[in-house]
Amino acid sequence: MTLADARPVALIITRDRKVAEGFYGETLGLRRLPGDDFAALFDLAGARLRLTEVPDHVASLHPVLGWEVPDIRAAVEALAAKGVATNRYEGMGQDELGIWTSPDGSARVAFFDDPDGNGLTLTQGS
């Protein structure tokens, strides 16, 4: 067996697991899976997301997880309705919803954070 045949597990570190569980489960709408005393598990379209608490965690400056979506405007608007704001970066030329379009127009990306400041993205296109 090679890792190419293994199912991936995404790992997100949080300072407060209960807050993160609410965000990923209720706000983002991910389905909760049975977990253990060490982590909360969620379904990521057949893969697993594992939320692990580390009290002194400091979020990365770069995104750690993203989703490909068929309609990025609808996805951003749905998150905004749940109180999730997109991140705006000076000089990137994002639109009014905070969506950046690649120079060749093939991809559109929106950036947002979880409660710990872990960077997340939505992408439409390649």
In this predicted structure, what is the pLDDT of residue 22? 97
For residue 22, give its domain range.
1-55
The pLDDT of residue 93 is 92
| Same domain for 50 and 70 | no
pLDDT tens digits for range 16-36:
999 999 999 999 999 999 988
Under a CB-based contact definition with an 8 Å cutoff, are residues 122 and 75 in contact? yes
Q: What is the pLDDT of residue 35?
A: 83
What's the CATH number where 3 sits? Answer: 3.10.180.10
**What whole-number percentage of the chain has pLDDT above 90?**
93
Residues 49 and 67 in one domain: no
End position of a domain, from candidates 37, 55, 73: 55
